[in-house]
């Protein structure tokens, strides 16, 4: 998207190869040098990027959705990225969320789903978690673009006088800022110093939503800004079945019509349905939506989202992408596919005691258990227990108990009772963030002689959990917690050292409260071990003599990958399997 002013260019297909300096105008279409069959361009001058016919510049894959929200655009985008990564391409991703929030940090997870935390502390949409897990990359705040971020930036520029004399408008100022944000995220370096070959851009919401209009206009402009081989648009739609089992294409036709009214054309249509769609349905969509039949991809519901890339491979999407984007046809590395389809030889059931009871709120936990299970050939079944309604005796039926993170007082006593049951009955226990704090409270009440132990977050009592000093007096909630990567030093001879196999780790955090330093000595004298610390902050706890009683102040699930399961989850599932065998013996 960047076009430079002056470059030395060698015309190697000229009858007499010549070298000269040229000026590239903002409208590249005025330059004959971009005619693919005319000149071969070699850069001599120093600069960042120039559009050329060499094919070594950024390519953009846009993913939009129609008919209804929640069709799986994020999984589609992540799957396309995985397919390309399996062929050796470096892939990054951007999620556009049209809401006015600056980020997802203050949104109700019961409505919006999990708040995923990136390494830099950004609180983002759960789809970025899918990108990181499928592509095995680490993203930053720039990869989640919201209406709030874009408008705030433009308004700040206007107040500084950057647009002095201009009337600031949606077009061009907002759309230009959107394109700039996409470009900056696409060109951000990976940890190894390389940059992506291909950038996925998922536009949240549904085509036709009023809040997404500026983003779709920016996407439309990008098609004109970029060479044809550097841009492709994938449209995800719903293809329902009627009572006779016939697939109905009318919703897709209307969705594509709405897309066309915005000046956009779908190069690939991914049709979401319960069952695979057949050739007749594809032929009909092809005819009505003006694209080849090979570009109509069936995306039927599968048991595991990690199977989606394989199903899309079978549909031939890799060939369509390669042809449209001018990519080399490479053989796919199938090792990732073999990993995520590994057969299970055993099964365990884990009780997750929570107050939401909505799977999308805890999607990273669910996926981390799956990663650990795959590595151990063990299927992990999850029983979702309402912290306010479950019966205590139910807990004995499960192979392990997990208490996830969260905020607020509701359901706290039920979670504490579940932790006590796990501790007293030698059931493997894993506590995460709030689960870590509640494990501390439970031990303080029942083993350290502090019967009114509680958290400062919950009200009156002895605050064995206190607010972080830097949090006191804050007036704003958004982006103000202890967020992102922090290191932790591990004590030798502990379970933590055994499961991580190192003396220092880096994990992602999201919390306002911590173990009160005034009670650490008393808790440890009572037998609790704080096995990892960040300076004077407690990061892990464990209980010697218990089969597996372990909790973390951080969220290890945010760094778990199918190829690299999180160590706490891996050992937890292993302990659950051992507990099951003990019960069966």
CA 192 → CA 115, 138, 139, 188, 195, distances in Å?
Answer: 27, 11, 13, 11, 9
* Burial of 31: CB neighbours in 10 Å, binned 0-12, 13-18, 19+: middle
CA 524 → CA 436, 440, 461, distances in Å?
Answer: 15, 11, 20
**Three-class secondary structure assignment of 333-361:** CCHHHHHHCCCCCEEEEEEEEECCCCHHH
| Residue 56 banded pLDDT, cuts 50, 70, 90 | low
pLDDT score of 164: 86
Q: Which residue has the higher pLDDT, 25 or 194?
A: 194
For helices 412-424 and 434-446, angle between their N-to-C axes, nearest 10 degrees: 70
E strand spans, 293-404: 296-300, 346-354, 378-386, 400-403
pLDDT score of 165: 85
CB atoms within 10 A of CB 575: 22
pLDDT score of 110: 79
Ordered by where they begin, the domains of the chain are 6-43 (no CATH), 59-337 (3.40.50.300), 346-584 (3.40.50.880)
Report d(CA 133, CA 369) in Å as an integer: 13
Q: Which of 181, 199, 433, 576 is catalytic?
A: 433
Q: What does the block give as tokens for 46?
A: 């120093």
| Residue 52 banded pLDDT, cuts 50, 70, 90 | very low
* Burial of 504: CB neighbours in 10 Å, binned 0-12, 13-18, 19+: exposed
pLDDT score of 565: 97
Q: Which residue has the higher pLDDT, 482 or 30?
A: 482
Q: Which of 324, 514, 555, 576 is catalytic?
A: 555
Question: Residues 393-441: pLDDT tens digits?
Answer: 899 999 999 999 988 899 999 999 999 999 999 999 999 999 999 999 9
In contact, 487 and 504? CB cutoff 8 Å: yes
- Mean pLDDT, all residues of the chain: 89
State the average pLDDT over residues 574-578: 96
CB atoms within 10 A of CB 543: 20
Q: Under 8 Å CB-to-CB from 175, ≥6 apart: which residues?
A: 214, 217, 218, 221
State the average pLDDT over residues 175-185: 96
Lowest mean pLDDT among 21-25, 161-165, 350-354, 439-443: 21-25
Q: Any catalytic annotation for residue 433?
A: yes
In contact, 230 and 94? CB cutoff 8 Å: no
State the average pLDDT over residues 159-178: 94
pLDDT score of 290: 94
Q: Any catalytic annotation for residue 555?
A: yes
State the average pLDDT over residues 85-104: 95
State percent of the chain over pLDDT 70: 90
CA atoms within 13 A on the CB side of 460: 0
Query: Element (H or E) spanning 457, and its range?
Result: none
Q: Which of 371, 557, 574, 576 is catalytic?
A: 557
pLDDT exceeds 60 at position 11? no
Question: Residues 245-281: pLDDT tens digits?
Answer: 899 999 999 999 999 999 999 999 999 999 999 999 9
CB atoms within 10 A of CB 381: 12
DSSP summary character for residue 74: H
Q: Any catalytic annotation for residue 393?
A: no
Q: What does the block give as tokens for 343?
A: 């057969």
* Burial of 77: CB neighbours in 10 Å, binned 0-12, 13-18, 19+: buried
State percent of the chain over pLDDT 90: 80
CB atoms within 10 A of CB 326: 14
pLDDT exceeds 90 at position 90? yes
Question: Residues 479-535: pLDDT tens digits?
Answer: 788 999 999 999 999 999 999 999 999 999 999 999 999 999 999 999 999 999 999
Residues facing residue 145 across a β-bridge: 96
pLDDT exceeds 80 at position 39? no
């Amino acid at each position: 998207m960047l076009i430079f002013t002056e470059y030395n260019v060698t015309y190697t297909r000229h009858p007499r190869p010549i070298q000269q300096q040229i000026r590239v105008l903002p409208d590249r279409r005025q330059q004959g040098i971009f005619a693919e069959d005319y000149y071969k361009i070699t850069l001599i001058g120093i600069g960042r990027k120039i559009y050329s016919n060499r094919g070594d510049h950024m390519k953009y894959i846009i993913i939009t959705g129609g008919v209804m929200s929640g069709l799986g655009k994020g999984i589609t985008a992540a799957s396309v990225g995985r397919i390309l990564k399996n062929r050796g391409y470096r892939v990054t991703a951007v999620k556009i969320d049209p809401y006015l929030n600056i980020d997802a940090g203050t949104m109700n997870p019961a409505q919006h789903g999990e708040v995923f935390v990136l390494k830099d502390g950004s609180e983002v949409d759960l789809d970025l978690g899918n990108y990181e897990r499928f592509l095995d990359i680490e993203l930053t705040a720039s990869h989640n673009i919201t209406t709030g971020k874009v408008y705030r930036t433009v308004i700040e520029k206007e107040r500084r006088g950057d647009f002095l004399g201009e009337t600031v408008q949606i077009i061009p100022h907002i759309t230009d800022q959107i394109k700039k944000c996409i470009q900056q995220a696409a060109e951000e370096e990976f940890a190894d110093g390389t940059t992506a070959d291909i950038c996925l851009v998922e536009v949240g919401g549904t085509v036709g939503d009023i809040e997404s209009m500026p983003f779709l206009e920016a996407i439309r402009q990008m098609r004109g800004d970029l060479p044809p081989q550097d841009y492709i648009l994938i449209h995800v739609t719903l293809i329902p079945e009627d009572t006779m089992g016939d697939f109905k294409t009318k919703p897709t036709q209307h969705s594509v019509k709405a897309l066309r009214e915005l000046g956009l054309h779908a190069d690939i249509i991914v049709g979401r349905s319960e069952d695979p769609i057949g050739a007749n349905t594809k032929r009909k969509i092809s005819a009505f939506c003006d694209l080849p039949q090979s570009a109509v991809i069936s995306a039927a519901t599968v048991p595991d989202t990690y199977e989606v890339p394989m199903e899309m491979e079978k549909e031939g999407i890799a060939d369509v992408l390669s042809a449209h984007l001018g990519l080399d046809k490479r053989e796919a590395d199938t090792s990732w596919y073999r990993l995520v389809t590994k057969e299970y030889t055993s099964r365990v059931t884990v009780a997750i005691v929570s107050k939401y009871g909505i799977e999308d709120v805890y999607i990273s936990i669910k996926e981390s258990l799956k990663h650990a299970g795959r590595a151990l050939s063990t299927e992990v079944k999850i029983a979702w227990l309402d912290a306010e309604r479950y019966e205590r005796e139910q807990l004995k039926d499960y192979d392990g108990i997990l208490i996830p993170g969260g905020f607020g007082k509701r359901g706290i006593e039920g979670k504490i009772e579940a932790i006590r049951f796990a501790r007293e009955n030698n059931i493997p226990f894993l506590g995460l963030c709030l689960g870590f704090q509640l494990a501390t409270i439970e031990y303080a009440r029942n083993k350290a002689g502090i019967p009114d132990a509680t958290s400062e977050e919950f009200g009156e009592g002895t605050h064995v959990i206190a607010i972080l000093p830097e949090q006191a007096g804050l007036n704003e909630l958004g982006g103000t917690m202890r967020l992102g990567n922090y290191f932790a030093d591990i004590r030798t001879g502990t379970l933590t050292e055994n499961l991580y196999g190192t003396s220092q780790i880096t994990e992602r955090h999201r919390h306002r409260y911590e173990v009160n330093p005034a009670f650490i000595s008393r808790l440890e004298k009572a037998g609790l071990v704080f096995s990892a610390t960040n300076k004077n902050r407690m990061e892990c706890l464990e209980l010697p003599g218990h089969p597996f009683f372990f909790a973390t102040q951080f969220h290890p699930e945010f760094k778990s990958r199918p190829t690299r399961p999180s160590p706490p989850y891996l050992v937890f599932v292993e302990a659950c399997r051992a507990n099951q065998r003990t019960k069966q013996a």
